[in-house]
Structure 1
Amino acid sequence: MRKHNNLWGYFFLTPQLIGLLAFSVIPLGFALVLSFMKWDGFGAKTFVGLGNFIGQFQNPVFWKALWNTTLYTILTVPVGVALSLLLALALNRIKGKELYRVFFFMPVVTSSVSIGVIWMWILNGDFGILNQFLGYIGIEGPQWLTDTRIVMISIAMLSIWWQVGYNMVIFLAGLQGVSNSYYEAAEIDGASKFQKFKNITLPLISPTTFFVSIMSIIGSFQVFDQAFVMTSGGPAKASYTLVYHVYQTGFQNFKWGESTAVAMILFVIILIFTLIQFRVSKRWVHYEG
């Protein structure tokens, strides 16, 4: 009977395993091999060893893309995680939280291209809604998408607004898993609201915070749609990100070997950050035993 059940289990797992192999494992292996090749997508492949990686490390455009991506991560992750937690705390205490949750989550299910186009008009420096509003209160609005100093801030604002609903829902789930008995015991001891938040809420939702932080960092390093739709990597490559560099190197310049080399470098960067977070998390993530 056990062998029979195992066979049925393997039978139902087979489609997922085939999909994993066809769309993840095999393409990843092919990309790894291709990163050591010189190939324009049509002719014969030429083995160049580490030449593609060395060429990228010597390419100032690569370092510009890496800096922009890092800056975007610094701008979006701390603010996005903190804002999501604050919204979740607020919604967890009010009636009709389901309705508000839908409103905040609606941007998440909207196409990234549609979001980018809408915000491109909102942030237009000449006749955008945001600058018009600032003008009413006597503030001269900047050129949000054409000023090299603030273009990444503009894209970060869009991304925070777009993803805050997703992280908020996850935090809400974590908050609703905290037993009220902890808060009741703290009230008996005379704990203030801040003390309850610091000593009960934060430690008990630390696994949720850890998950949201990891997913936010991974997503921020993969930013592409916003820069592609709103600025095309400009002005002067001020919003040129690593994934945009992968796209331009491969799909526009047809240097597939170099493109996959950049993708492999990005993969290693994300892996390193993830491993560091897992290592550091042992100090502050608390799981209920």
Structure 2
Amino acid sequence: MFLAPALLGFAVFFAWPSIRGLYLSFTDFNLLRAPEWIGLDNYIAIAQDPVFWNSLWVTIEYVVINIGIQTAAALVLAVLLHRFTRSMIIRGIVLLPYLIANVVVALVWFWLADYNLGLINSALDSIGFDRVGFFGNELLAMPTIALINVWRHLGYTTLLIFAGLQAIPRDVYEAAEVDGAGEWRTFRSVTMPLLRPVLAFVLVISVVGSFQIFDTIAVTTGGGPVDATRALNVYIYDQAFAQFDFGYASALSVVLMLILAVVALLQLRVLRANESDLDR
């Protein structure tokens, strides 16, 4: 009885749409007529679709930049918080950007980095540097979007890692200190191995979330310039709600789901997320 509401919500909002989407991926469906079964035609078309492969590459570029910088910065910030302060006020300040809606964050940074009116370009101009088209340059657009989301999600990732640091027993650090280990050796030989399960969890949820980037792109570049920021989710949205090709969009969604499943499983296997060095 207690599980019934959650199971009902799962069935209505997740299980049934997933099954329906899987079925539609094998059909030609545009809302104007009943779905027509076409077998694997959509998947064959995906394999031959240059826009899909470009979208996949753009998405991977975003994930690498976003996760690389975000995880490294969050780890450093979490260690600093753990070693030097336990202030709830500071933790709240660190988490504050994550509490702002992603669309609002994107719009604010879109204005700040605007070529003509943005404060960033005005500052560059005032000190003698050329203005930069952050969202209009093919090479800079996706890194700019990635850094915006690094800024927003950094606090959340930091607090997850900080929670993992708090779970490490203090006597382990005391033993390392007695053995003469310095700060760097303690971090490399004690903190990182014991933090591995938490880092694995953080990386899995961060990578899965990054592969689903949409809102920041939608309100800034819309996928441009010249498909430089057309990530997979943006391409799926365009096929479904601009081209009304729901069968093809469903097939793209299934492919994205399979990619995420493989990536998550590889991360869990490589990082040995179900093991802890504390048990050894």
Cα offset, 1:96, TM superposition: 5.1
Tell me what 1:73 maps to: 63
Tell me what 2:23 maps to: 33
Tell me what 2:103 maps to: 113
State whether structure 2 residue 250 is matched by structure 1 residue 260. Answer: yes
Q: Distance between the aligned counterparts of 2:27 and 2:123, measured in 1?
A: 53
State whether structure 2 residue 156 is matched by structure 1 residue 161. Answer: no
Q: Distance between the aligned counterparts of 1:53 and 1:147, measured in 2?
A: 32
Aligned residue type for 2:205: M
Tell me what 1:243 maps to: 233
Relative to the length of structure 2, the TM-score reads 0.96
State whether structure 2 residue 54 is matched by structure 1 residue 64. Answer: yes
State whether structure 2 residue 126 is matched by structure 1 residue 131. Answer: no
From 72, 78, 89, give the equivalent of 1:82: 72
Q: Distance between the aligned counterparts of 1:95 and 1:21, measured in 2?
A: 44
SS of aligned partner of 1:216? helix
Aligned residue type for 2:85: K
Per-residue Cα deviation, 1:207-243 (whole angstroms, up to 9, x for no partner): 1110111111101110001110001111111110100
Give the unaligned 5+ runs of structure 1.
1-10
Tell me what 1:211 maps to: 201
Per-residue Cα deviation, 1:138-192 (whole angstroms, up to 9, x for no partner): 3323210000111001001101001101100101101111111111111111110
Cα offset, 1:113, TM superposition: 1.1
Give the unaligned 5+ runs of structure 2.
none
Cα offset, 1:103, TM superposition: 1.2
Per-residue Cα deviation, 1:237-280 (whole angstroms, up to 9, x for no partner): 11101000110100111100000000000001111111111221
State whether structure 2 residue 163 is matched by structure 1 residue 173. Answer: yes
User: 1:224·1:241 contact (CA, 8 Å) conserved in 2?
Assistant: yes
- Cα 1:47–1:63 change in 2 (3 A) is same
RMSD across aligned positions (CA): 1.5
Per-residue Cα deviation, 1:70-97 (whole angstroms, up to 9, x for no partner): 1001111111111111111111123353
From 89, 103, 109, give the equivalent of 2:93: 103
State whether structure 2 residue 263 is matched by structure 1 residue 273. Answer: yes
Could you tell which deviates more after superposition, 131-140 or 229-238?
Answer: 131-140
State whether structure 2 residue 179 is matched by structure 1 residue 192. Answer: no
Q: Distance between the aligned counterparts of 1:97 and 1:139, measured in 2?
A: 39
From 207, 231, 247, give the equivalent of 2:221: 231
SS of aligned partner of 2:229? coil
Cα offset, 1:284, TM superposition: 10
Cα offset, 1:112, TM superposition: 1.3
- Cα 1:284–1:44 change in 2 (3 A) is closer
In percent, how many aligned pairs have the same letter? 33
